Amino acid sequence: MKNLDPWYLENLVCPVDGGALRWEPETSLLVSRIGIVYPVVDGVPVMLPPEVEPTLSGMKASRHCSEVDAPWYLSSVLLSDSEKEGILRLIEKPGEVDPVAAYLVAATNGIGYAHLVGNLKDYPIPGIRLPQGEGKTLLDVGCSWGRWSIAAARKGYTVIGMDPSLGAVMAARRVARQLNVDCRFFVGDSRHLPLRSGCVDTAFSYSVLQHLSEEDTIQSIRHLGRVLSPGGICLVQMPTKWGLRCLMNQAGRRFREAVGFEVRYWSLEDLRRVFESSVGVSTFSVDCYFGIGWQPTDLAMMPLPLKFVIYTSETLRKLSGIIPLLTRFADSVYVRAIKSEQP
């Protein structure tokens, strides 16, 4: 590949030293000033720092990508072997929906979407709770197959989607192109964001940071604050300790500390402390009740019992605007932090 989108050269930095990168078109490599190399796969920079403990099993596969694995890069996708076999079967019989997205839908949208895995007929693109973008830059951290990136682009944002899985990022790019939506994507680690400071207007993340340890989450939020421009908005979904479904899940593991990729549950007080120290003044709004991931835009895809769950969740969400105490008992909330205008 001889050419690279100039945006990447202007805004990507080495996640190890924070310095500028040099593009070598002959080798399709981005090279840091201290000699660390980052491959560019079919125009997608893979900006994972070497020798850093991964949070996902597929991160090493993303960095050491193999042409044999192209164009699907399934070794980097966080799915079981049987699910990957299902993707291969869909590849042989192409339909309206991208095969990788069809199998990532429950992993990204929540267990309530499990009945759609491998059977997805249309893309569940949600409505993003942000004002009109008017061309502002939005970073979607943990974009997976691209549903929130596409939602933001449709609302007028200039979108950059990032995920640690090369296979998921390639699926996001395919889906965006299929839906005629313009987005940029790269592979990266939220703990080591490879972006220059102050280069995005909005930072967004959904159902991602909840899987990281407290230390890794705090480090990720610090990077979100760093890459935001003054006055920029950070909107991040997080699960809470006191939602009904969240309490049931915690009880199911006997309230022990989460390990590996398990969900971490946060109190509103702890979330406020972390976001205000790393970004700025923070407020909360309800995402949903009775689980994580329910979207009213997906009602048509749901069986009757789950339609009832979504309707009830939406009713409580709207009531939370009148009765703020209800926010404390939501299962999933948005943290909205605004970066200070002052340096």
Model pLDDT for residues 223-266, shown as the tens digit of each residue: 999 999 999 999 999 999 999 999 999 999 999 999 999 999 99
Give the amino acid at 227: V
**Could you give the CA distance from residue 149 to residue 162 in angstroms, rounded to a whole number?**
9
Give the amino acid at 317: R
pLDDT of residue 1: 54
Local confidence band at 343 (pLDDT 50, 70, 90 cut-offs): low
Local confidence band at 132 (pLDDT 50, 70, 90 cut-offs): very high
The architecture of the domain spanning 137-338 is: 3-Layer(aba) Sandwich (3.40)
For residue 88, what are its two tokens?
């291969």
DSSP state letter for 292? S
Written as one string, the DSSP assignment of 112-144 is GGGGGTTT--S-------S---TT-EEEEET-T
Ordered by start, the domain boundaries in the chain are 137-338
Average pLDDT for 67-81: 87
Nearest CA to 139 out of 47, 240, 273 is that of: 47
pLDDT of residue 63: 83
pLDDT of residue 16: 96
Residue 290 and residue 331 in contact, taking contact as beta carbons nearer than 8 Å = yes
The whole-model pTM stands at 0.96
**Could you give the CA distance from residue 263 to residue 286 in angstroms, rounded to a whole number?**
18
